Amino acid sequence: MERKQAEYSNLDERYAIQGEKYQGQQYSHIYFTRLHHMRNLLHALVPSWKPHLPVTTVLGLEEGKDCMIVGTLYKHMKLKPSILDEYSKERSAIPLVKPHNFMHPDDHLILEDESGRVTLAGAIPPAAYVTGVVIALHGKETSAGNFLVEDILEAGIPPQITLPSINEDKYVVFVSGLSVGSEKFNPLQFQLLIDHITGHLGDENEQSIASNIVRVVVAGNSVHISPRFFNGQAVASKDQSRIAEPIKELDIMLTQLVASLPVDMMPGSNDPANFSLPQQPLHRCLFAGAATYNTFSSCSNPHQFELDSVRFIGTSGQNIDDLYKYSDAKDKLEFVERTLRWRHLAPTAPNSLAQFEELGVQHVEFLNKLRCLTMLYLSGVQVS
């Protein structure tokens, strides 16, 4: 039974870090560029939203006068972790923080642009927003100097690009959170998955379905290396082989997959890759067996590609995990939807999510703005 093929195009060039030098700007240019692009987009939406309202700056606000302002949100959070807390004499008085979320009833939002900043009140729930989101607000300045929000305009889900004509079924398999080497990893279950994908399991009908799988994407956190090896001390020679064991085991299993079909390998927060986004591809020398096949691709995180003109973009979940820490939603899927509505893959970067500060302006958009709606958008390593 012959496996179907799909024309593949890797679009990860924009995420490559190639010798960029730190220019001393820290993160200001990232927020400036983000505001510049998103403000132009929001201004274009105003005529169809509330054309009668004047658009002004924070400095141009007048008490009691209805207007619209566009700026970047900053969320003041009482429980947000700070390195200074380690040395605070009053840290014992700070309320205990849940390990997964830093929300507090006293949190409030501030909107800022190039001219200044203003505290927000009214119809804008702090729990639903995070630092770094660019929005337009309808309201008026109060006597207290705050901006009373009456309505909110977000960039919204971007326009859908034209769908190609597809006359047959083709599947892409997404796998994440394998954690090879951890206690929860079950080699038998993973082997059964490999046998199913490669067509070595099931009856003729199941093998026919497996033959429609044209690609496998491994979306982060593929290995688990014990934290005790990363305590700042030199690793003993007897432990060096133990560090490599999960990677070797993963390589053996990946080799079975790439012998049958193409595989994209994305790094995650627990994998041996750089910490800041965009994470660069895992070095091919880690996969001595799989890397010998031209069907193996080590990719960046985020990872963007096209299959038969269908565009995919995905992350290994750090952007959604960070939103979960600093905002509230009914489920993880709502966080994913918000990144689409805000047109930000990772709106909390670089405030609370690590990002390469030396990225030039030409690279800023990779993390901050979705130009057009990707046909398939994924986030790996998520627990429902």
Tell the residue number behind the tokens 């008085």, with chain if given. 93
Contact (CB, 8 A) for 144 and 214: no
Give the 3-state secondary structure of residue 377.
strand
Which domains are present in the chain? Answer: 8-22+160-377 (3.60.21.50), 27-82+103-153 (2.40.50.430)
Q: How far apart are CA 376 and CA 381, in angstroms?
A: 17
340 Cβ partners below 8 Å, 6+ apart?
A: 157, 158, 370, 373, 377
pLDDT per residue as tens, the chain (384 positions) = 799 999 999 999 888 887 665 555 577 888 888 899 899 999 999 999 999 999 999 999 999 999 999 999 999 998 888 766 655 545 555 555 555 788 999 999 999 999 999 999 999 999 999 999 999 999 999 999 999 999 999 999 888 777 778 889 999 999 999 999 998 999 999 999 999 999 998 899 999 999 999 999 999 999 998 777 766 667 777 777 788 899 999 999 999 999 999 999 999 999 999 998 999 999 999 999 999 999 999 999 999 999 998 989 999 999 999 999 999 999 999 999 999 999 888 999 989 998 876 544 444 444 444 555 557 888 888 876
Query: What's the Cα-to-Cα distance from 336 to each of 105, 148, 315, 341, rounded to whole Å?
Result: 24, 28, 11, 9
pLDDT at 190: 94
